[in-house]
Structure 1
Amino acid sequence: MLIETKLRPPHLRAGLIARPRLIRQLDGALSARLAVVSAPPGFGKSTLLGQWIAALKGRDAAVGWLALDGDDNEIGRFLTYLVAAIQRADPAIARQVPVMMQSSPLLPVDFVLTSIVNDLAQRSGPLFLVLDDCQFLEAPEICRFLDALLTYAPACLHLVVATRGPLPFGLANMRVKGQLINLDDMQLRFSLDETESLLNEAQAMDLPMADLVTLQHRTEGWVAGLQLASLSLEQRAARADFIRHFSGSQREIAEFLAGDVLDRQPPEIFAFLVESAILDRLSAPLADAVLGRRDSATLLRAIEAANLFLIPLDAERHWFRYHHLFADFLRSRLAATRDPAAIAALHARAADWLSANGFTSEAVAHALAAGEADRAAALVEDCAMPLIMASHLNTVRAWLARLPRDLIARRPKLQLAEVWIQFHMSRPQEGARTLRAAKRNIRAAIAQGSLAGAEAEAMLAELRTLTAGVISAADRSRSAQAFIRQWQDQVPESQPFFKGTIGNILGFCSLSLGDLDGARLASLRARDTHAAAQSVFGVVYSDLILGLAEKAAGNLQGAAELFARATQQARAELGAGSYAEAMVAIFEVELLYEWNDLGAAERLLHQHRQVIEECGLVVHEMACKLHLARLAAARGRHDEAMAVLERAERLGIEKRYHRLTAAALNERVRLLLKRGDVGAARYALLARGIDPEARRPETRRPGADLSPSTEPEYLALARLQIAEARPQAAQRLLDQVAEKMRADGRLRRLAQVRALSAIAAYRAGDALSALAAAVDAVAICAPQRAMRTLIDEGSAMREVIDFARGRMPSWSGDTPAGSYIEELGQFCERAERAPAPRGGRRADPDFSQRETEVLRLLSAGHSNRDMARALGMAPDTVKWHLKNIFGKLGVANRTQAVLRLQQIGLGGEAARG
């Protein structure tokens, strides 16, 4: 008697993620003899085939299904079920076979094959036969039968097999004939879109994009890993923390991998997997050296054939790595089953082999893991600069963090490597201190004669390069520019990386001072030098500055092309997800946002956000935070946007990076005024020392000149003046700013200024000036399809556009300007229909009951500890409520919050409760 469920495709539960890309690939089986779906456990092979079968049946296709198990590795049982599966697709095929198999004293294998082939030859339409879990088939007679079936069956038969391991028949001949379709684990992995559909749509988890990206990276799109993670997430409150630490040692993942994978392996495979897991990548010679074996090549072939989460890294299959979660799981098993001294010995042997074979960078990690600090320090000195030139800053940072501080303090090469990290991590003050210490060590070494010649020359060039970088990172562009010009020509030609880096720093300084031509010239020269030095990082950074110059000039298409060139080179040379790629991508987000492609902007931002926040210059972190706030506001999440901007302002003050503080202030004032909170906007300016009654925003800094870093303050002040019914004052202020931008050729920001000028003039009743400013703004934005510059100014901008449209014949009809205005109007209308942010001109912020209790104690002057004790909360919970309260009030600290409450008339009420 047959088990009927073995002959049915899997039940497709509701909420499965559609995979049209893979379904289309499987549809290629219509023109192929064999389709193979091969992947480790948990990659959704059976589910995918079930979805495809359902689609085929919807087209009236003939489909047979057989789910195999260990008992089917016997020729008689296998043929019985195979014939039954074929007859489910077409009852006319092999009708006499069951009787013959029951009555014949010997198994009639040839009769079965002949009957199936001859009956198939009578069919006019295709027949699909799916064999699921083919890894159970090992018997030689079954292999011979399937080989013969594929050889002699007519073209109407399409065999589809799913397997975790090697197939029981050869594929080489079919590949040559083009009769094979193969889907492996690389194609079966969930994309980020599919991960989002699974977790946020099908399972309604409502995870932010940053968490989705982290899970996607940790699981590498492994479907079972994502599903197991989601089961754990359902039971946890601190989801972000769980996701951040998600690994193969998590209980659910570990149980799955132990029960379904590792415990089924022979002892020698088990031992090899566990001990080789210390290696981030492995080859047969390396594994032999580390594990003391001679058969690693054979074992690796067996592991790969068994689909045990082993991923080849090259076409020749010399190098491999384990899936991230599988590697985590194996390492946890290693720690649980081996003595620490034995594990350290494995790492020491790995360091020996890698160092001897020229893989210095990988040897460092193993020397550190083996506890050999001096050896690790020497290795870091040898490979830190090549890694920095390739943008692998996080790797160098991790190594330095594990070395003893006194050891670094004695080695100036390590100190300079640390400055590179501090420079790129927006820590210029720390960088300056480390530079001074390194300078003392270098001078002492030169005086003692232990450092001389070309080595001394190179270290001095590196020292000066980093000095320029640290000055620039501290937002002192003019000082950095002067320092570079003083000795730029003295950089030896033998040090092209330092020469190119100096050029890039000079290009960035020129850009930040509004000198676009100077930025282009310096960056083009730097790019040539970096190309000679074969520094991918340097070339990418040169292209980034060139792109930023085009963006500032209003040439968004040109910027996009330069960014794309930089990204392509970073991926080609460094692989996907590098720091070099991230620092370009964070500015590509701005272009996508400007073109109103919010979904693509959010995805790209969250894909690279973590890298930038961990290791990025202030300018990159500044862009990241501003994009987060703008996207949140565009999606209607105004409280979130305000909180991000408040953090950005604090960061700008902490890092002494004035352009970040000013840019965040301008965005915060815009959002406060959008929700009608004029008082909070005025207070935000006052809190930054800007007097709204003054004619210039530099009241706090007498004699300061208008510059790109202070311009956002002018815009914020003009916004407030418009909101306070002083549009003529705003006009005068904005005209002053526009004149400087126009002279510099910085049209992107000029478009924003002219949009505000148009609103101010329209509110002042100055129709001619409003029309001129609106025409200016549209003339800059329309050719580049720039949308958000005008959309973000809200209904006031739409009023001006409608006013100007009736007076500008070129803005109607099928003209380029007309189509742009039409599209802009549609976007503006949709944005206005979106839920408006809470608040009005005098509306009180909406506080929860718990926030009201915190406010009462805050107004009465209680400390965080007092509040926690009085309300029975943890101190961190009090901090969380205060952060939300500050965001709603639009303030940065406790004092400002109390003043703001008094200003809106809630101070006494809050204190009284």
Structure 2
Amino acid sequence: MTHPWNDEQLMAESDEAATQRGMFTGVAAELVAAGFDAPEEVGRGGFGVVYRCREPALDRSVAVKVLTSDVGGDERVRFLREQRALGRLSGHPNIVQILHVDITSTGRPYLVMPFYARGSLDRLLRANGPLRWPDVVSVGVKIAGALAAAHALGMVHRDVKPGNILLTDYGEPQLSDFGIARFGDDATITSAMVHGTPAFTAPEILHGATPTAGADVYGLSATMFSLVSGHSPARRHGSGPLRDVSDAELARIAAGGPPDLREHGVPDAVCTVLERALAVDPRERPASAIEFGEQLREAQRLTGQPVDAMAVPGAAEPTDRPPMAQIAGPPTPPPPPFAATKFRPPAATRTMIDRPRLLNILRGGEQRRLIAILGPAGFGKTTLAAQWARRLRSEGVPVAWLTADPDDDNVVWFLTHLIEAIRRVRPEIARELVALLQERATDATRSVLSTLIDEIHDSRQAVVLIVDDWQRVGSVATRAAMAYLLEHGCHHLRIVLVGRDRSGLPLSRLMVDDELVEIDTTALRFDPAETDEFLVRTSGLELDPAEVGKVRESTEGWAAGLRLAQLSLSGRADPAGFIDNLSGRHHAIGEYLTENVLESLDPELLDFLMATTVTSRICASLATALSGRTDSRKLLEQIADRNLFLQRQDDDEWFHYHRLFADHLQRRLGYLDPDHVPVLHARASAWFAEHNLLTDAVDHALAADDEELAVTLVESHAMQLIAASQMATFLGLMAKLPSPLTDDRPLLHLCVGWANAGLGRGARVRAALRRARAALAANPPPEPENTVFHVEADLIAGIESYISDRFEPVPESVTAYIDTLPDPGMALAAADLAATDAFNRLDFAAMDHWYRTVLRFSRDLSPFATLHPHCMRGLAAAEELDIDAAEAHFAAAEAAAPRGSELVARATVLTQALLGGLRYQQGRLAEADTLLTAAAAAQRHPGTGDFLLSTYGTGARLAAARGDIERATHLLGIGDRFAAELSMPRVAARITNERVRIGLPIPDEVRDRLTQLPLYRRQPTRVLAATAELDQDSAIRLLLAQGSPEATAAACERAERLVREIQPQRAGALVDARLLHACCLWAAGRAEDARTAARPAVTLCIEHGLPRPIADAGPGISDIVTALGLVPATGE
């Protein structure tokens, strides 16, 4: 067999290398002799040993699987079977690639595969616990494609499990270990021998059936089950061979059904797919791996997750998706996806050379917080960063890559992209932050950055973040976000910024703190040795040293100029004349050399290049749409192979032109055929729209000067984005649109209103509604559409009023047309608002009517639609002291929230806050503490008055009751800030009242206002009443604290008026007022009057199991209760 190295290479090895190789023995020594360095055993199986080695010829780490010498014939067959399987499946993005095969000097066969430092999913599961269900579904889609490729070639894997799915350095799953795969009618596999891992083996295989594709589907589903739950469906954690399992154990595994994953927060849509694939009867499972993968993709669509591509063999289109009705779940559309190429460095080209001079500089500064690689276009900045990333990854350092673009001027989108980049290499980090950004947008920027820094620091593991093309970001907000990361980050977060200038970066401060390494234009220029390495040794040009020097002098060491020169010089018989004419500054050199490259191309190929550089990235389908060429894939491959500034990305599906090359081609096209440029942009927009890449579709519609199309695209997706809680994405797209064209689009303005209402921006909601009503008045649509628009505008206004805690009367139109609204979701929202309004007016009968109306409309909607109505009805029941009903409604609200859904986290936390408040009143302090702590810790919350009152008001009272004054002060500070930012007097009054109760200082102006309050008068609404009563409560307690007879008498007068004026239907408020009045009377020495005033309130509290209103009433309450001879429950 021919050795991979020739004799000359072997003779040239250094003595030092030979000495190192002499240190190894046995198999390791054989691998060293075969050309590998530093073999280290990393795994051992029944018939082979896996070594991690360095392959010096290609400067990479590889995994070498060697067949041991003591195995029998069957194991050798299995080893060769795996070799054959991996060879036939070469090229699939989700199957481990075989780099080459050979035998050692003693005849041991071995396979060489990539070495992935992150290991298998089993290793990840054991290290970090169960994975997020969206990540598991993504793995399932991709491995389903891998199995489909194997099945198409007649192979059944037979051992799909977490340990046989590896994670690449880019976080992509790859199926491995085809050692026991079955090939068609392979005679070496006997039905009597059952292979595989029990916990992941299909039941029919346990009974001796022939392995089929359905068995692999079962194994993949069982794998996904274990990744989400932490255990296999059969709850058998062992991984030994099936031949070691007893018959009884096999029967138990085969008969057992999987536990319900819904208890792990997995949506019903995903559970349904997995349960079907885990069916005991193989006829009930998906018919193929492709069908299973498509069902998982459908589940991703239904749960609002990005839909992963599934690489399947020989199919231009995926198999038909199962009908929507087959998979249960809320029909929430996914957000506009972004290309995976944004998060990957450009692929290495054949002519790229290592630059150890610069890599050594990076190595010396790798512990610093910032490495800045700055210089003009084409100086090799990205290439250097990519080399550094590969070097770090080979050492096991997680490296996140983000290529910036103009969309990152939107700070929310930038942070979304940044978090996605980090989570691709550290999936346990920042799980909740993207949803927080979408729902709170720029309001959450500082919180997101702080949380991200804290999570990375607490993990104690370094991560390197490389941001390429930073010069494409110009917004103050995004640059401020990056500055915050640099100034407040720790040494576990190391940032590499690649850009053209230093603007917007806090480099001076970092330099003073010795936290900066900068590689500038001077350092980036190719030196003589690097120029010679690139032009002569790597590119193969026959140039003498003087000619190399001239090229370097003319290009001034500019990497792009050298690359263009290399292309122009290739194939020239006499390069001297060309080199002598090289001159000029960078721009002139670039223009001249690019023209020389283009003039040598076939005109049809040049037309294709000009057509396909209109977009920032290109794939075969998009290229066909732009150029009309059906051979686009072949042409793209040819262009990439010829190094015509086109690089493969994203597992060869996507390509990316060098920006300088693309810019020049576009300038050329604009000069030669300017009318064709907008045509190409229009084609690009249509393609991106068809593929649900909305942002790109809008950008190219605008570039095509088709602003109407851009507006229409956003309008057609607006409600989908709002329904998916993608408020920030929608508002970012709206900012791109020319305002004159949106003025007459009432639907867009209404959606802007919805989005800003969800983000708590009242002024912007009201402005959007004014624009919507103006558009309707200027150009009324036909009925009933016109009426529906007006009702929707009134509904949004009412919801904004509720969220801002103003509770203005709900417009009559909201209820008058409720039964004629075409959308049951809108009708339910109108009924919910009407019920909340009735509660605010203390009309409990009307509230019950509208609550029943909510339930009527909810029959055709998700149970989640009833979460808020149940919360409000629970609050009303608590106000009436119907504690059993309040608990029942809060429990119903909790049950209505889909488990694991990030879209409803804000509403779910409302239930926690309100139930926590009730548990406090019941004296169940431990439960209350758990609920209120969770509500306060939530990064996404509804921001409504009732939520804030319970979370920060009751939360502070609970902390004080437990002696934690520091936490109480902290919570009151947060509540005070919310009250000021959101202009909520009720919340401000509650925060002041809690400070007075605890004995904390309050501002002098607040104290002066409280002492001058007139006596209480009955208020028309619950919000106004609560605000006024809290102020009166605070004033009374301040008077009691003075201790003088005059102050005590004034307190008695205020408290007596409070009891007299509070509406009788507000039983809870009346109890609090009566208890406070009793405390005032007791302080005045009127003991009998105090007992008389307190008795009905104390009795009610005892009857309803509410000890805390008594305990919190005020000074003297314990003496009053003792004098009454009543014994209230104390709670915890």
TM-score of the superposed pair, with normalisation by structure 1: 0.51
1:510-529 matched pairs, under 5 angstroms:
510-529=838-857
Q: Which residue of 2 aligns with 1:434?
A: 768
Query: CA offsets per residue over residues 840-869 of structure 1, 9 Å max, x none?
Result: xxxxxxxxxxxxxxxxxxxxxxxxxxxxxx
Whether the 8 Å CA contact 1:649–1:665 is kept in 2: the answer is no
| Equivalent runs, 1:276-675 vs 2, <5 Å | 352=686, 355-356=689-690, 363=694, 366-367=697-698, 374-385=708-719, 388=722, 393-446=727-780, 451-470=781-800, 477=807, 480-481=809-810, 483-484=811-812, 488=816, 492-494=820-822, 496-529=824-857, 531=859, 534=861, 539-571=866-898, 577-591=904-918, 594=921, 595-596=924-925, 597-606=927-936, 608-612=938-942, 616-617=943-944, 620=947, 626=953, 629=956, 635-637=964-966, 638-651=968-981, 655=983, 657-671=984-998, 673=999, 675=1000
- Alignment partner of 1:74: what SS? strand
Which 10-residue stretch deviates more, 662-671 or 764-773?
A: 764-773
What is residue 1027 of structure 2 aligned with on the other side? Answer: 709
In 2, Cα distance between equivalents of 1:757 and 1:150: 88
1:77-132 CA-to-partner distances (Å, cap 9, x unmatched) read 7969xx9xxxxxxxxxxxxxxxxxxxxx9999xxxxxxxxxxxxxxxxxxxxx997
SS at match of 1:480: coil
Q: How many Å separate the matches in 1 of 2:997 and 2:753?
A: 37
Deviations, residues 787-815 of structure 1 (Å, cap 9, x unaligned): 6555656xx56x63476257536x3xxxx
Output aligned runs, 1:731-810, within 5 Å. 731-741=1052-1062, 743-747=1064-1068, 749-771=1069-1091, 776=1096, 779-781=1099-1101, 786=1106, 789=1109, 800-801=1117-1118, 804-805=1121-1122, 808=1125
Distance in 2, matches of 1:502 and 1:391, equals 19
Deviation of 1:647 (Å) = 1.9
Structure 2 counterpart SS, 1:554: coil
1:745 maps to a residue whose letter is R
Match of 2:988, SS? helix
Provide, for residues 479-535 of structure 1, a one-character-per-residue CA deviation record: whole Å limited to 9, x for no partner: 514x42797258745465554433333322222233333323223324424555x48
Aligned to 2:1006: 684
Which secondary structure state, in structure 2, belongs to the residue aligned with residue 718 of structure 1?
Answer: helix
Q: Is the 8 A contact 1:520 1:545 kept in 2?
A: no
CA contact (8 A) 1:72 1:137 kept: no
Residue 436 of structure 2 corresponds to which residue in structure 1? none
Q: Secondary structure at the match of 1:743?
A: coil
Please say if residues 1081 and 1089 of structure 2, whose CA atoms lie closer than 8 Å, have aligned partners that are also in contact: yes
Q: Deviations over 1:281-325 (max 9, x none)?
A: xx99999999999999xxxxxxxxxxxxxxxxxxxxxxxxxxxxx
Letter of the structure 1 residue corresponding to residue 793 of structure 2 = L
Matched, 1:75 2:67: yes
Contact 1:513–1:707 (CA under 8 A) maintained in structure 2: no
CA contact (8 A) 1:75 1:141 kept: no
Amino acid of the residue matched to residue 994 of structure 2? E
Deviations along 1:369-396, one digit per CA (max 9) or x if unpaired, are 8756643432332343455466654554
Distance 1:184 1:286 in 2: 38
TM-aligned CA deviation for residue 605 of structure 1: 1.5
Q: Does the 8 Å CA contact 2:1052/2:1081 hold for their aligned counterparts?
A: yes
Q: Deviations over 1:851-900 (max 9, x none)?
A: xxxxxxxxxxxxxxxxxxxxxxxxxxxxxxxxxxxxxxxxxxxxxxxxxx
* Deviation per residue, 1:626-648 (Å, 9 max, x gap): 46655665643244234224324
Any idea what SS the aligned residue of 1:571 has?
A: coil
- 2:965 counterpart SS class: coil
Cα separation, 2, equivalents of 1:573 and 1:234: 27
SS at structure 2 position matched to 1:590: helix
Distance 2:1109 2:49 in 1: 59
Q: C-alpha distance in 2, partners of 1:2/1:149?
A: 37
1:577-620, CA deviations, whole angstroms, 9 ceiling, x for partnerless residues? 454445545534534555423552255315644353xxx55655
Q: Structure 1 or 2: larger helix share?
A: 1
Letter in 1 for 2:847: A
Question: Where do residues 94-105 of structure 1 align in structure 2 (5 Å cutoff)?
Answer: none
- CA–CA distance in structure 1, aligned partners of residues 681 and 1107 of structure 2: 55
Residue 716 and residue 609 in structure 1: after superposition, are their counterparts in 2 closer, same or farther (change >3 A)?
Answer: farther
CA contact (8 A) 2:791 2:813 kept: no
Q: Are 1:186 and 2:228 counterparts?
A: yes
Of 726-735 and 712-721, the range deviating more from structure 2: 726-735
Task: Give the letter for the 1:186 counterpart.
Answer: V
Tell me the amino acid that sits aligned with residue 458 of structure 1. V
CA spacing shift, 1:681–1:144, aligned 2, 3 Å: same
CA distance in 2, matches of 1:504, 1:466: 12
State which of 730, 743, 763 in structure 1 corresponds to 2:1051. Answer: 730
Check the 8 A contact 1:592/1:598 in 2, yes or no: yes
Residue 743 of structure 1 and its aligned partner are, at CA, apart by: 0.9
With over 3 angstroms needed to count, the CA separation of the structure-2 counterparts of 1:622 and 1:144, relative to structure 1, is: same
Residues of 1 paired with 2:830 and 2:1055: CA distance?
A: 35
State the Cα distance separating 1:549 from its structure 2 match: 1.7
Structure 1: distance between partners of 2:230 and 2:867: 32
Counterpart-to-counterpart distance in 2, 1:422 and 1:578: 18
Give the Å deviation of 1:348: 8.5
Q: Given that residues 1078 and 1091 in structure 2 are in contact (C-alpha distance below 8 angstroms), is that contact kept between their aligned partners in structure 1?
A: yes
CA distance in structure 1 between the aligned counterparts of 2:904 and 2:834, rounded to whole angstroms: 27
Paired letter, 1:545: M
Deviation at 1:715, TM superposition (A): 1.4
- Contact 1:632–1:640 at 8 Å: present in 2 too? no
Using CA pairs under 8 Å that are at least 6 residues apart, name the structure with larger relative contact order, 1 or 2: 1
**C-alpha distance in 2 between matches for 1:456 and 1:619:** 34
Q: How far 1:411 moved relative to its partner?
A: 2.4
Question: What is the one-letter code of the residue matched to 2:783?
Answer: G
Residue correspondences, number: 614
Aligned-pair identity (%): 17
CA distance change for structure 1 residues 647 and 579 in 2, over 3 Å: closer, same or farther? closer
Give the partner amino acid of 2:789: M
Q: Matched residues in 2 for 1:148 and 1:419: separation?
A: 68
State the SS of the aligned residue for 1:73. strand
Unaligned runs of 5+ in 1: 7-45, 50-64, 84-104, 109-129, 162-168, 194-210, 256-274, 297-325, 812-816, 825-913
Tell me, yes or no, if the aligned pair for 2:879 and 2:1067 is still in contact at 8 Å. yes
Structure 2 distance, partners of 1:140, 1:502, is: 58
Return the TM-score normalized by structure 2. 0.42
State the alpha-carbon separation in 1 of the partners of residues 1123 and 626 from structure 2: 79
The structure that has the greater radius of gyration is 2
Instruction: Judge conservation of contact 1:423–1:617 (CA < 8 Å) in 2.
Output: no
- The runs of 5 or more residues in structure 2 that have no matched partner are 1-22, 29-41, 53-61, 76-105, 110-160, 167-173, 202-210, 232-262, 266-414, 431-454, 466-480, 499-612, 634-648, 667-676
Q: In 2 relative to 1, CA 364–336 (structure 1 residues): closer, same or farther, beyond 3 Å?
A: closer
